[in-house]
Copies of this chain bind each other. A is one copy, B any other.
Amino acid sequence: MSALNTDLYELTMAAGYFMAGKTEDIATFELMVRRLPEQRNFLVAAGLQQAAEYLLNFQFKREEIAYLRSLRQFRRTPPEFFDYLAQLRFTGELFAMREGTPVFANEPLAIVRAPLIQAQIVETYLLSTLAHQTSIASKAARCVLAAQGRQIVEFGSRRAHSPNAAVLSARAAYIGGCDGTSNAQAGMMFDIPVSGTAAHSWTMAFENEEESFRALQKLLGQDTVYLLDTYDTLSGAETAVRVGRPMWGVRLDSGDLDTLSREVRLILDRANLGDTRIMATGDLDEFRIERLIQAQAPIDSFGVGTQLTTSADAPALPAVYKLVELNSGGTERYTAKFSGEKSTVPAAKQVYRYRHCDAVAMFNECNPDFKGEPLLRPVISKGALVEPLPCVRAVRSHCLEAVRSLPERLFSLQDALPYEVTIGPPLLDLAESVRAEHLERVLPETAN
């Protein structure tokens, strides 16, 4: 975690704000996802703990400042800026949705209100932290819906975008409702249940399959899961039967999982191993899980890797961080961007959740009609944590419950009729007046 881990332009802009005398300007930025990826009916907010830890520990190291000073881009920057940077901490406010909360397009996931320079520099880190974990938690929630109560374990560390991302993906997958992860470091760091079976190399490392199964049984007892497909799945099942109990069950990792699971179930049942379980792995995603369940394949547990850990069908969310208010020299100003599709709505917002719809209003809009639950809550105030953040187990419970409360049509893996999100009239009026005022200011200028 380094304050230097940001886009260079955040730092050159910081220098520019410093030179323009804007160190006292207070900015409000909103972080949101512009649109839901295809076939996503909702997202699950995640990554807040890491985002908050970053802000709480925000600080430049001496050598990082020396590096910046060495860059061509800072050759016109006065030395006072680097002194300023050396003492810079995050002293502002962070409002955010609780991790595990379902969230929709154009609803702020998080709001940063802080001195402009601070709020600008933290953009890149906050976006990658919150968007990454939100995308994985959202994918996990879909897998969990597809599995209809069967166990799902996240197994994709090896396919993550770096070992560090593996740990955070495991965390997000658990928040989204998975039952555990294979990643041992994630297990230790976040108190997530860990599980695992054995690899093909285990089977190959012994003289024959039976010897490898016996050695595994000696190690794991009733947690033993025999991996059947190193040489041939069905003869692997026969070997599992010969070695027998104690065992948890068997794992299928290749081939036609529907057919093989039935054949293997039959082999196990005939050997009076009816209470042993079948786990399936191998390029699974929510769609393949749904099909297996619809076909009533006798699979008790799913290990999901690549597709979940990288959210492979939607590997990046269109998350943005937009300036919506600026207090400069004591004057409060609402700001927005007006370029086509990428336009934004000015002013800090609150999202109120009702039974089956959300209302977005101005943050400070007092209206006794707002009886929904305000989703954006204070997390950091004046640079300090408002209250301890919940552990991931609590976050996961919140997610499971909140997802269950959504309209049922959103549980479809395909695009459903969108969730209703209304924007309040005062906000729309404000957007219109900011735009009109801007045009008034800009048009005479461009007419020159």
- A residues near B (Cβ < 8 Å) are 1-2, 4-13, 15-17, 19-20, 22, 25, 27, 29, 54, 63-64, 67-68, 71-73, 76-77, 116, 120, 123-125, 127-129, 131-132, 155, 157-169, 182-185, 187-188, 194-202, 204-210, 215-216, 218-221, 223, 229-233, 235, 238-239, 242, 253-255, 306, 309-312, 315-317, 319, 321-323, 326, 328, 335-342, 438, 441-442, 445-446, 448
Contacts and interface: CB of A to CB of B under 8 A. Distances in A.
A303 to B, nearest CB: 10
Contacts of A9: 182, 196-199
A306 B11 CA distance: 21
B219 A19 contact: yes
B157 A6 contact: yes
25 contacts: A5-B166, A5-B184, A6-B157, A8-B182, A8-B196, A10-B196, A15-B219, A19-B218, A29-B201, A76-B221, A77-B219, A116-B205, A128-B158, A128-B163, A159-B317, A161-B315, A164-B165, A200-B322, A201-B335, A204-B336, A229-B339, A231-B338, A232-B339, A238-B446, A312-B315
A266 to B, nearest CB: 16
A2 B164 CA distance: 10
Nearest to A195: B8
Contacts of A317: 159
Given A312-B315, A442-B231, A125 B163 contact: yes
Given A19-B219, A164-B164, A128 B199 contact: no
Nearest to A221: B76
B16 A219 contact: yes
Nearest to A18: B219
B168 A25 contact: no
B254 A340 contact: yes
Nearest 10 interchain pairs by C-beta: A9-B196, A161-B161, A315-B315, A8-B196, A127-B158, A164-B164, A201-B323, A204-B335, A5-B185, A16-B219
Given A20-B206, A22-B205, A205-B323, A158 B335 contact: no
A116 to B, nearest CB: 6
B19 A340 contact: no
Contact of A16 (B1, B71, B216): B216
Contacts of A316: 159, 306, 309-310, 312
Contacts of A15: 219
Contacts of A164: 5, 162, 164-165
A233 B442 CA distance: 13
A230 B157 contact: no
A185 B448 contact: no
A128 B338 contact: no
A71 to B, nearest CB: 7
Given A157-B7, A184-B4, A206-B20, A322 B201 contact: yes
Contacts of A253: 339
Contacts of A201: 13, 27, 29, 120, 123, 322-323, 335
B158 A131 contact: yes
A151 to B, nearest CB: 15
B161 A162 contact: yes
Contact of A161 (B160, B341, B446): B160
A383 to B, nearest CB: 20
